[in-house]
Amino acid sequence: MSDNLFAPTAIIEAEKKVFLEKLIQKGGPELHEYETFTSIVNNLDPSQVDQLRELLAPMLNENTLIGYGLKKPFGYPGDFNLINNIYDFHVNGNKEYQNWDIFFQNQAGAVAVRNRKEYFLNYCNDLAAKKEKDINVLILGSGPATDVYEFLDSKPEKHISFDLIDFDQNAIDFSRRQNEKFNGQISYNRINVLRFKPFKVYDLIWSAGLFDYFRDKHFIFLIKKYINFLADEGDYIISNFSTENPTRRLMEVLSEWYLNHRSKEDLLRIAGEAGIGERYVTVETEPLGVNLFLRIKREAD
């Protein structure tokens, strides 16, 4: 019988165990310990994942953002509540968990989520300044719609309306409550983006934190489907986590949060496979380069 069938489980070294136990006692790593903790997770042998989770069990529950990610109370990773907590820089006030949340909020992945909201706000501000009437925006996978709230709250623009699509009723309810004072300008649609049928054209079709969950086949299908509903001079902008995301292993090992990370070249190839000519396509990024934006422009005929 081959030895490989029963590859031995590597034990987490005693020194690392002591370090991890100390982190649990003090409610998470302090700034000077981030590098050591991240390096333990990034270099973990796959056979050590269960041991690591056992050692960190006291914090791997809904009291921390990392634990919430693992428990997935709404059944899927990256739900509206977690995303909204990233936007709000939520930190548990209890010392047992506090440093874990501060650590999570300072990771590149969380910063990039906040940065992509800024990208959206900047884009909407430019659009509202450029076009004086009847701006229509479609959002695929709208989640908490905190981005929409912040835009309308900072600068009440009466000539812009948002159609939100999300398949989770809890996300729809949350976004509706959050945006109550702007409800005349927002429509809420509980439906799968694969099945929604728009009945108008849009100046912006925006999707953040959704296409990373799709394989190329569905990504391409959704480009082909919605490109037909872009107004002349409109943009279809799709965010996707980059293959350069330094938080990837932390998300996977601690929160079982798996995404289809893509490079700039992957996004350009996908746009090409969806039949979009090169001159209509650019890939942009937020300041960290962790969230990429595939931007497809529709030129006037």
Ligand X SMILES: C[S@@+](CC[C@H](N)C(=O)[O-])C[C@H]1O[C@@H](n2cnc3c(N)ncnc32)[C@H](O)[C@@H]1O
Q: Could you list the residues that contact ligand X (CB under 6 A)?
A: 78, 80, 83, 141-144, 147, 165-168, 171, 192-194, 208-210, 213
* φ and ψ at residue 139, rounded to 5 degrees: -120, 120
Shortest reach from residue 19's CB to ligand X, in Å: 32
Shortest reach from residue 260's CB to ligand X, in Å: 13
The residue among 37 and 123 lying less far from ligand X, judged by its C-beta, is 123
Q: Write out the H or E segment, with its range, that includes residue 271.
A: helix 264-273
The residue among 94 and 187 lying less far from ligand X, judged by its C-beta, is 187
Shortest reach from residue 295's CB to ligand X, in Å: 16
Shortest reach from residue 120's CB to ligand X, in Å: 8
Shortest reach from residue 167's CB to ligand X, in Å: 4
Q: Are strands 186-190 and 160-166 parallel, antiparallel or unpaired?
A: parallel
The residue among 88 and 134 lying less far from ligand X, judged by its C-beta, is 88
SS3 237: strand
The residue among 164 and 267 lying less far from ligand X, judged by its C-beta, is 164
The residue among 69 and 144 lying less far from ligand X, judged by its C-beta, is 144
Q: Which of 200-226 are b and which e, b meaning 16 or more Cβ less than 10 Å from the residue's Cβ? A: eebbbbbbbbbbbbbeeeebbebbebb
Distance CA 145, CA 207 (A): 11
Q: Which residue is nearest to ligand X (CB)?
A: 143
SS3 233: strand
The residue among 20 and 208 lying less far from ligand X, judged by its C-beta, is 208
Distance CA 63, CA 56 (A): 13
Residues 6+ apart with CB under 8 A from 147: 117, 120, 121, 139, 208
Shortest reach from residue 267's CB to ligand X, in Å: 17
Shortest reach from residue 30's CB to ligand X, in Å: 29
Q: How far is CA 215 from CA 18, 112, 218, 267, in A?
A: 40, 21, 6, 12
The residue among 37 and 80 lying less far from ligand X, judged by its C-beta, is 80
SS3 27: coil
